[in-house]
Every structure is written in structure tokens, then in C-alpha cells.
Amino acid sequence: MIEIPTIKLQNSLLRDIQEFNGHVHDPSLWTSQLSQLGVVVEDSTDSEIEIEVFPDRPDLLSHETMARAARSFLGNTNAPCEVEVHSGSEKISVDPSMRAIRPHVFAAIVRGVFTGEDEANKNLFVQSVMDHQEKLHTTLGRRRKSVSIGVHDLGTIKGPFKVTADDGTSIFTPLGSDKEMSLQDILTNHPKGNEYAHLVDGELGYPLITDSEDRVVSFPPIINGIDTKVTTSSSDFLIDVTGWDRRACLAAIRLLALSFHERGGAIESVEVTQHDGSTWNLNFDPITHKVPASLIKMILGAEVDSGSMEGWIARMGGKLIDKIKLGQDRHGSSWDGTDKDDSAYLIQMPCWRADILHPVDIVEDLIIGMGLDSLPDQQSKVNLPGSPLNDSIAKRRIRQSIRALGAHEVQTLTLSNENKEFREMRSRPRGAVTKIRNPITQEHGILRQRILPSMIEVLAANRHHELPHRIFELGDTVIDHQNSTSLAWACADANGGFTTAKGYCMSLLRDLGAPDDYVKLIEGVPGQGPWLAGRVAKVAINGQQIGTFGEIDPHVSIKFGLRVPIHAGEFDVQLMMELIPDPVYR
């Protein structure tokens, strides 16, 4: 399930931000028009606006970045793609051991941030910074696994800084505590440590950021130190971002720095020497995208002129640079046309728009910029009548055949375990077994290779009901890490046996159109599978084995609590349909 973050925008903070940037805040205008930007205005009062932001727009998760987007979208002023970054003197060195712990480390400094006119707004500002940080942790950061962020009061620490792998014995006072704790104690006894301890592997080392005087700045991705706590008197900030997803980490640090910049802060780069010796400095260089004119026409349904496009993309914070010919450089995209004279637009978008991955995303922004109500009315020119897939035809015929024998269809889990699949059923793997890396329970540790064990479990769960029980399943199996389809049936019937199972098999093959001379029954080998010796047969078509049927050995069924005769069978559906021509569609 995708979590849709909700933010509550305080009108007093929005007013501070907008007035600081030369724009008069108008809540009624926001609530009536901002939903066109791709957000949902849930509620609006005199003091706050509650907005749902879709997960693909992390650039709208703070008061400051939302205000910036609103200024351009609502037509009041353009917001340039570029943001000035001053060259700073601070440095961070990353120990080589961080490669296996949190390989990407980025940092920036923002000085002179306007935090509010009065103490009430300053308090709201501090809370909004923390909320923004947590929203980014949830969306871009995948709950801190991919990205973790730290925001610190720069006035309490001194560079240069270093990022190292600690042995867990270092001590500092974390946020939310009034006593010193070791890193290991934090993971055990601190609420944030309990919540995120699974992200740290003590055998590899505990990530730790310290300053030049060995004061702990942060223990990512768990918690910051109390010494760098952001307060209402803070105006200069250090931002650190660590994680595994480089693209998401870059988006996070740019969005944090941008939000402070919106409050008048001057952004300074911090030279980060990475674990591999390379250096990194923050920049806000816009990204230029090549968008084929044919793609725009295909999606919008009409030709558009450059003047209109310039206005639409400006509303979304972008900039139309030029109109060019595609030439030989077509980016390998199927949308780029086949002729070198095809036209394309060069469009600049801000580097913090992490949601833009393809020219189609630019076209989506153009549509939002022009307004959905402005899209031309056009009927579909495509008339493709639906037709069933060959696979669905085969499955329908199989189901009809088995149901005609009185069996009821069930659907069981594809997840299973080795004990049920192999040991209890006396079976061997049919190929490589696909295992779940982090199973929730021991019962769901692998993906099943056969359906029959699940059928026996269903019979066992219903053994207190009156007999007979006749069930079947047409479902997925996974062999050699590849999906397959199998059919299995199982019947608990005091009057059933091998003859009844053979009747099921031959009836199914007859209904599918298999000629009698195609089919050959081969006596099964005793001890292979759950079958009773002498009462099991393998089914071959044109010399290829497609399945097995017979009676279940009581020594197997009793393990499931079943004390009644059971006949069953299982077939490889894909192989069966390849070998049996469809009598209607062949």
C-alpha cells in the first residue's frame, strides 16, 4: 500500500514566507486553486490548511517548498530553476568503512535563515522543520532505509567533520534523553533506537558523525545529539544526509536547503570526501530535458505553440529553452520519432524535482500547467474489441472440466515452507527453490513448487465437515525461479480410490481434446511423492510427462490429521496445453 503523506500548513508561517518573498498570502486562493497542482486540499480554516500530497511530489512537503511552487503556479511570479550556492570552507571526510554501512554521504550549510517575527512563529518554524524531515524520511527515505536526514544548529559545533564506523561504545546524549548513552544502549533503550535498530548492523559498524572536537553530531539513521538541537534561536544550520539511494539522498538535501533558502538563508557548499576518495559539493544546476513534439501532440491530442508551452511550464517552475531538431541523438526513446528532422523542445526543470524521470513526466507537468479543463475534447480514434487470451481460454476449459466432476475451486497461498513441500510429502525439489529473504513466519519461507500440499492442508482444515470433499486449484508455482501454472485436485471420499483418480484424469484429457493414442499411463515408482505404492500413475503425452495421479499414502495423510481415503493428482498446465492442440482454435 502506498502511503499518501498529509501536511498541515500554518497560515501564519505561509504569510511570513510569502511576504518575505514579496507575495501576499491569500488562503482562499490556495484552497480554491491549489488542488489543480496535483494535491488534495482536505480542510481549510483561518489558521491552517490540511493538504494531501501524492508520494511522487516530495518537493511539496514543506511550507517553504509548497509556497515556492504556489507562487509560480498561481501566476504571481516566476520561480527560477537555479539557486545560488556559495563556496564554503567546511569539510567532511568519510571513512572507507562506510562503503558497506551507508555509502552516500552529503552535507550543506545554510546561514542567516529568517525563522519568524515572534516567538510563536519561531516555535512553529522549528516544528515545521522536524515535520518536513520526517515526511522526507517516509517518502524519499523509505522510512530511513534509503535516506536519513539530520538538521543541526551550526553554532554549537565546529568543523571539519568526519563520518566513521564506530564499535558501538561511543557515548553521547541523544535527543529525547537527559543522560548520556552508548550507541548500543540507544538501540536497546531509546524509542527511536527501538524503532530503527533494524537499519544498523553492528557487525559492520555503527555510523557516527562527529566534529573537530569529537562531539557527536549524529548517529544516522537513528538520532541526533542533544548538542546540535535546533531551537528558536537557531539561524545557521548544518544539514547531513546519508543513505543507500544516491538519487533520493541528493533530492533530500536539496529540498532541505531550498526550504531554508526560501526564508532568506544563504546556501554554502560543504566539501565531502567520500569513502572512495572522490569529492562532492552541493549544486542546484537545473536539468535539461528533451521532449519530442510528437509525444506532446499524441498525449494532448492537438498541436501546441511555443508561447503557450512557455507559460505552462513556467507555472510548474520550469523554463522553455529552445525548440530543436532531434538529429541523430534520439536518446534511444521510442517517443523520439524516426526522422532526424523531427522537432523537440528543450525544457529546464529544477534539480530537486526527483519525480521527473522521462519526457512523459514533462508532458504531465504541461497538462497540469495548462489546466485539465483546457484539454481539447477529442473522441478516441482507437477501436480495439476485446478478445480472450489463449491462456485464459485454456484455463476456462480446464475449470469447466473439473467442475463438471463435482469439485469446488479453492485458492491457496503461493507461499509455503520446505517441511510441507518436501519432507511431509516425501517429494524432492523440481528445480531451484525460491526462498524468501526475510519471511514473516517460518510457515512462509519459500514459493511453492507444487499445489498438492496446499490441497491436503485444505482437506485437513475441513475434516470435521461431512464427506465427501472434492476440491481443485488452478494456480501459480515457481520452479527454477520462474513462474509456472499447475492444476491439482484432491478428494477425501470413503468410496474413492485409484480408479476414481484415473477417471478424473481421463475425463480432463478427453475434455481438452487429447486423442487416446496420445496418452500413456506409466506406473509410478514406490516411495516417490505422497502416493500409495501400486496405486499411482504418471501421465505422458507424446512421451513427455505432464503429471501424476493416484491415492495418497495413509502414512502421509495421517500427518495432516486425515484418516480417510484420498485420491489426488497434479498436472503441469503449460506443458499440457503445448502438447494437446486446442480442438476449436488450432
- Between CA 551 and CA 569 the distance in angstroms is 9
Cβ neighbors of 300 (< 8 A, separation 6 or more) are: 363, 366, 367, 375, 376
Topology of the domain comprising 6-73? Phenylalanyl-tRNA Synthetase; Chain B, domain 1 (3.30.56)
Query: Where in the chain do CATH 3.50.40.10 domains reside?
Result: 91-280
Query: Where in the chain do CATH 3.30.930.10 domains reside?
Result: 390-579
Mean pLDDT of 289-314: 85
Q: Is the pLDDT of residue 77 over 70?
A: no
Decide which of 54 and 320 is more confident: 320
Mean pLDDT of 240-254: 95
Q: Is the pLDDT of residue 330 over 60?
A: no
pLDDT in tens, 509-535: 999 988 888 899 999 888 889 999 999
Question: DSSP 3-state assignment of 571?
Answer: strand
Decide which of 78 and 480 is more confident: 480
Cβ neighbors of 433 (< 8 A, separation 6 or more) are: 418, 446, 447, 449
Give the total residue count for the chain: 586
Question: What's the pLDDT at 159?
Answer: 85
Question: What's the pLDDT at 338?
Answer: 46
CA angle 250, 254, 258 (to 5 degrees): 175
Instruction: Say which DSSP state 259 is in.
Output: H
Q: Is the pLDDT of residue 241 over 90?
A: yes
Decide which of 293 and 172 is more confident: 172
Instruction: Centre a 10 Å sphere on the Cβ of residue 143 and count the other Cβ atoms it contains.
Output: 16
Q: Which CATH class is domain 287-371?
A: alpha beta
- Between CA 384 and CA 329 the distance in angstroms is 34
Q: What percent of the chain has pLDDT over 70?
A: 92
Rounded to 10 deg, the angle between the 306-315 and 359-370 helix axes is 90
pLDDT in tens, 341-378: 678 889 999 999 988 988 899 999 998 888 877 777 77
Query: Where in the chain do CATH 3.30.56.10 domains reside?
Result: 6-73, 287-371
- CATH number for 91-280 (one of 3.40.50.300, 3.30.43.10, 2.60.40.2700, 3.50.40.10): it is 3.50.40.10
pTM of the model: 0.67
Amino acid at 17: I
Q: What percent of the chain has pLDDT over 90?
A: 56
- Between CA 357 and CA 506 the distance in angstroms is 54
506 pLDDT band (50/70/90 cuts)? very high
- Look at residues 170, 195, 191 and name the one whose alpha carbon lies nearest to residue 181: 170
Q: Is the pLDDT of residue 21 over 70?
A: no
| Chain mean pLDDT for the chain | 87
Rounded to 10 deg, the angle between the 63-73 and 306-315 helix axes is 160
Amino acid at 493: D
Question: What's the pLDDT at 331?
Answer: 47
* Beta-carbon-side half-sphere exposure of residue 340 (alpha carbons within 13 Å): 3
- Between CA 309 and CA 320 the distance in angstroms is 7
Cβ neighbors of 391 (< 8 A, separation 6 or more) are: none
Q: Is the pLDDT of residue 34 over 80?
A: no
* Beta-carbon-side half-sphere exposure of residue 503 (alpha carbons within 13 Å): 10
- Look at residues 124, 110, 29, 123 and name the one whose alpha carbon lies nearest to residue 67: 29
C-alpha cell recorded at residue 224? 541526533
Scanning 293-435, the segments in alpha helix (DSSP H) are 293-300, 306-315, 359-370, 390-403, 418
Question: What's the pLDDT at 1?
Answer: 44
Return the HEC string of 480-532: CCEEEEEEEEEEECCCCCHHHHHHHHHHHHHHHCCCHHHEEEEECCCCCCCEE
Q: Tell me the CATH architecture of domain 390-579.
A: 2-Layer Sandwich (3.30)
CA angle 125, 280, 108 (to 5 degrees): 15
- Contact assessment for residue 292 and residue 269, using Cβ atoms and an 8 Å cutoff: no
- What pairs with residue 267 in β-bridges? 110
Instruction: Centre a 10 Å sphere on the Cβ of residue 130 and count the other Cβ atoms it contains.
Output: 12
pLDDT in tens, 431-473: 999 999 888 888 899 999 999 999 999 999 999 899 999 999 9
Q: Is the pLDDT of residue 20 over 90?
A: no
C-alpha cell recorded at residue 56? 511522487
Cβ neighbors of 540 (< 8 A, separation 6 or more) are: 519, 520, 521, 522, 546
Phi, psi of 152, deg, nearest 5:
-130, 150
Peptide bond preceding 27 in cis form (omega within 30 of 0): no
Q: Is the pLDDT of residue 190 over 70?
A: yes
Lowest model confidence (mean pLDDT) among 66-80, 158-172, 205-219, 568-582: 66-80
